[in-house]
Amino acid sequence: MTTTLLLGTTGMLSAAAAHAVARSKKAVLVSRNADAFSFNNDVLDHKITPINVSYDDEAAFLDALERHAPFDLALTWLHPPADILRAALDGMIAPQGRLVEVMGSRSLLLGKDGEASIAERRAQALGLQDEFTYAQVILGFMLEGASSRWLTHAEISAAAIAQMEHPQPRLVAGVLEPWERRPK
């Protein structure tokens, strides 16, 4: 990989982000506080171009990213209402690149009036194109006997790394059923 985009990866996805950066010549890290982020590894930190911007300001966000595009790999975690940004990011992936999009389990819930979920809409739209590889990670939960728990950061990063290395259209980290057993 040559240029990597890391969006929403400074918390639960930081191990996956480090994996991506280790295999990149350079990486663009987008976060509200990107300047404050560190892998605590000089080699990885040296490859990072931090961009302090929130995707709540769509114009500034897209302007900042366009200066660094195209991206050979993008690892993203965006909240569901960011449809316009998702579509714009799709256009910034290099030919033969890879987009790994991490989504929460609720991204599979039907939309208003029974429309397809955001995860399904994205999978259908991007599964038809052949310019780059699209791989989803859907975050579920873990069943442990009579109880359940949310995924750990290590489990989330492991799923994202699996999609970076051996992409498939959708990988569910943990389980999604039975839904009523999810942690409260």
For residue 74, the 8-state DSSP code is: E
Quote the tokens at residue 35: 């300047």
Quote the tokens at residue 111: 């939309």
- Count CB neighbours of 42 within 10 A: 8
Question: 3-181 sits in which CATH class?
Answer: alpha beta
Residue 147 pLDDT: 93
Residues with Cβ within 8 Å of 118's Cβ and at least 6 positions away in sequence, in order, are 80, 83, 103, 107, 111
Distances (CA, A) of 137 to 32, 102, 154: 23, 5, 14
pLDDT of residue 101 exceeding 90: yes
Q: What is the tens place of the pLDDT at every residue in 7-47?
A: 999 999 999 999 999 999 999 999 888 999 999 999 999 99
**Confidence bin at 80 (pLDDT 50/70/90):** low
Residue 108 pLDDT: 81
Tell me which residue of 80, 170, 74 sits closest to 118, measured CA to CA.
80
Q: What is the tens place of the pLDDT at every residue in 55-79?
A: 788 888 899 999 999 999 999 998 7
* Rounded Cα distance, 69 and 49, in Å: 12
Cis peptide before 167 (omega within 30 of 0): no
